[in-house]
Amino acid sequence: MTKDESIKEKSNYLRGSIKEELSQNTAKFNPEDSKLLKFHGVYEQDNRDSRQERIAKKQEKEYIFMIRTKLPGGMLTSDQYIELDDISNTYTNKTLRITTRQTIQFHGIIKGNLHKTLNEINKKLITTYGGCGDVVRNVMAPPIADIDPSYPCDLIKIATEISNYFLPKSKAYFEIWVDDEKVDLASEAEPIYGKTYLPRKFKIAIGTEDDNSVDLFTQDVGLIAIVKSGKLTGFDVLVGGGLGHNHNKPETYPRLASMLGFVKLENLITILETIVTTQRDFGGRENRKHARMKYLIDDNGLEWFKKEVEKRSKIKLEKKVSNGNFKIKDYLGWHKQKDGNWYLGIFIENGRISDQSKRKTKSGLREIITRFKSNVRFTPQQNIILTDIKEDDKANIDKLLEKYNFFMPSKNLSNLRRNSMACVALPTCGLALAESERALPGILDKLEEMGHGDIEVSLRMSGCPNSCSRPPVSEIGIIGTSANKYNLYLGGAFEGNRLNIKIKDNVEGETLAIEIGNIIDKYKKERKANEKLGDFYQRIGI
């Protein structure tokens, strides 16, 4: 086994010496505990902006921590959101970050504030347990599936049930961060995960053919809800998706999930557990770069995987029901709820909730949510939805959006920016090879100046090939290779069910807008009516 596997096995079910390390007057944890922290929803990082200067001065890195919550379907109450906002003002870099998996990340926390921050998050009945690590991560679902009249079933409720079922059973998290009570290890076990948990992270999402905002084909397991006569009957099950890879290592690659078959609603949890435990028992533990379920399926074949799941579960998967006609929703603007109230989708550029010189997103959201008690949802596109708004309050909220200069589709939000996403990257992410969140707005500014703001195209940027912003399925993808250099990709599907293809290596950051502008120019001149950019380039040949 790899060193990571040994650390998990010897950790006393994710305890390690984290509790003891918290009491030490140091800026970081030992390497073993740093890996275990991920299972608790915590990443040890350092400020990459100050790294070289501190090295030159022979100083220790400026260690900081990221905390990621776990919010199935991206749901929060108004009180919970305000509490998280308070926490960000007290312990972090005073921003909140919406992730592409519908959760919240806090950045810039120092070790001395780590326990206080996690403890306060849990007091509001929000967990970070399993937000990271080799377990089932946050379960995604359309964020309005329980309130929008066009959805016949509550997919968020199902996502929550799945999330709760796959939470680690170890009490280490609560012992360390919540109530400080020790647990008798003899009575503790992990019936699903075992002592070594999963070989790598595991991602599950629920969606529909009419709403693939969660990017079902990029998940370890994607569940397509099947509704007949207004009733949810079950799910078509996709398996083996994953976008992370390494540059210049063809043995690692992005992969779209494959269709496994249809499972009835009453058998869903059994099938999911069987898929997870099959990956647990057969997934590669000798090489973490080859440990995701996509490699297990490719190494052994989809038919082998299906037979193994059916044998273990004693459930025969039926023929798929869905027809493959997927659509995307971004939920922006005003929409009526089933109960007569309204929900409002608000664009948050790259998910960063902060106050800038011209745009006061953080203060504006706080005032709106405090005054009107609107509950909150986060979208897979890193945006925010405010729910349960009364008809009489809509006009006042619109005025506040204008006061704080929010992006609004009818005023100052272009189609190009509306369909863009970027990962965090520098300065906090330890894996980043290049800028992303801080670079994409400037690229979009230039493209809008060129007259391309009206184009409806999915454009995604990532600072490294781990692809947290899911660029391999975008129509135009940008992935960092080194400082200020990027590979450029073309031809994915707007609907998220086709991989794109690399067209250029190591493009300088300053020329990205020109390269993309040329791509859009050709598309504008030669496209057919209603033809998407990705479809156009697939047709003419990339």
Question: Which one is catalytic: 203, 352, 362, 366?
Answer: 203
Choose, from 28, 38, 97, 201, the residue flagged as catalytic: 201
Residue in the structure block whose two tokens are 């293809």: 501
Active-site residue, 38 included: no
> Is 203 tagged catalytic?
yes
395 HSE (CA, 13 A, CB side): 1
Of 15, 132, 468, 532, the active-site residue reads 468
- Separation of alpha carbons 382 and 346, rounded Å: 10
- The distance from CA 116 to its chain's CA centroid, rounded to whole angstroms, is 25
Only one residue has tokens 């400037």, namely: 442
Pairing of strands 420-422, 459-462: parallel
Greatest alpha-carbon pair distance for the chain in Å reads 69
Active site residue 153: no
- Which residue matches tokens 């009835």? 264
Catalytic residue among 15, 28, 111, 137: 137
Active-site residue identified among 200, 464, 470, 532 = 464
Rounded Cα distance, 106 and 392, in Å: 34
Look up residue 60 and give its two tokens: 């220790």
Contacts of 263 (CB under 8 A, 6+ apart): 234, 235, 237, 271, 315, 317, 318
- As a whole number of angstroms, the distance between CA 500 and CA 294 comes to 18
* Calpha distance 538→474 (Å, rounded): 13
Q: Cα–Cα distance between 433 and 479 in angstroms, integer?
A: 9
Angle between helix axes 361-372 and 394-403 (nearest 10 degrees) is 160
The helix or strand, by DSSP H or E, that contains position 420, with its residue range, turns out to be strand 420-422
CA dist list (Å): 260 to 104, 141, 297, 301, 493: 31, 20, 11, 12, 21
CA torsion sign for 113, 114, 117, 122 is negative
423 is catalytic: yes
Cβ atoms within 10 A of the Cβ of 308, count?
17
Please state, in angstroms and rounded to a whole number, the distance separating the CA atoms of residues 147 and 335: 10
462, β-bridge pairs: 479
- Give, in order, the Cα–Cα distances in Å from 348 to each of 99, 372, 373, 408, 424: 11, 20, 20, 10, 14
Catalytic residue among 15, 294, 423, 470: 423
DSSP per residue, 181-232: ----GGG---TTT-TT--SS-B-EEEEBTTB-TT-GGGSSEEEEEEEETTEE
Decide if 532 is catalytic: no
Using alpha carbons only, give the angle 101, 333, 445 rounded to the nearest 5 degrees: 75
User: Which residues are tagged catalytic?
Assistant: 68, 137, 201, 203, 423, 429, 464, 468
